Amino acid sequence: MPWCDSCDVYRTPNALSSDGTCAECGSQVDEADMKRATATPNKVPWHFWLMVASLIAYLGWRLLEGVVWVAERI
């Protein structure tokens, strides 16, 4: 996030003026911070998707068990 030295606060890229200056005090914000703030975000790791797939499989199995349990009670 871009840091404004004059205000001593972090600014979001949306909070800056169109020319890259601080909207509060008008001082120039470091360009290196601006480039880093607008860089593409990191990809989600593969093991996160593995956990999501495992959760879906587990909840699907529990739903199936619940349906069978209700069907046996009727």
Question: Residue 11 in contact with residue 27, Cβ under 8 Å?
Answer: no
Residue range 8-64, pLDDT digits in tens: 767 777 777 777 777 777 777 766 655 555 666 788 999 999 999 999 999 999 999
Question: Residue 3 in contact with residue 11, Cβ under 8 Å?
Answer: yes
Q: How far apart, in Å, do the first and last CA atoms of the chain sit?
A: 60
Domain ranges of the chain: 1-39, 42-74
Stronger pLDDT, 57 or 1, i.e. the higher one: 57
